[in-house]
Amino acid sequence: MELLEGKRGYLRLRLPIEQNRNHLGILNACSQFALAGVPVASILHTLIDMERLDPIIVKLNIKYLKRATTDLYNTVKFSEELVSKIKKDLKEKGKSRFLFEEELKDETGEVVTVTKGDYQVHWKNIKKFDEITSI
């Protein structure tokens, strides 16, 4: 997996087919799963102090629409509304749970795989909310 572009709340990744080709000559399904799951945790690193937080994939539904015969791309952007919700939940409850959908596209821009993820992020090793000084 290669990071093509990254900034606060935004990532663009590429999954090369050459290193991830399966026995049928198409892009491995497990690699596609990783291309969908990894960016959500990674994007949280651009927004929040992840040294103090643990992201978790609660559930990730994946639908393979067609064979992936080229490199795949995933562009992930968190809306300001989602970022505000996560930060508010963390401050008030110590954890946040949210849904996020992604589209993995081939080199022509055609959607090959879609995902709907249920994610959670929570404070690690913090027993009291008053230990939280900043988000």
Q: What is the CATH number of the domain that holds 32?
A: 3.10.129.10
What percent of the chain stands above pLDDT 90?
Answer: 58
* Tens of pLDDT, residues 106-121: 999 999 999 999 999 9
Give the domain extent around 127.
Answer: 2-131
In the structure encoding, which two tokens stand for residue 41, read together?
A: 């945790």
Q: Helix, strand or coil for residue 29?
A: helix
Domain total in the chain: 1
Q: What is the Cα–Cα distance from 21 to 23, expressed in whole angstroms? A: 7
Q: What is the Cα–Cα distance from 132 to 49, expressed in whole angstroms? A: 11
Point out which residues pair with 96 in neighbouring strands: 121
Question: Which pTM does this prediction carry?
Answer: 0.82
- pLDDT at position 104, please? 97
pLDDT, average across residues 95-113: 95
Closest CA relative to residue 40, chosen from 2, 91, 76: 76
Cα distances (angstroms) measured from residue 67 to each of 5, 15, 26, 63: 25, 14, 7, 11
CA atoms within a 13 Å half-sphere pointing along the CA-CB vector of 107: 6
Task: Reply yes or no on whether the pLDDT at 39 is more than 60.
Answer: yes
| C-beta separation of 19 from 100 below 8 A | no
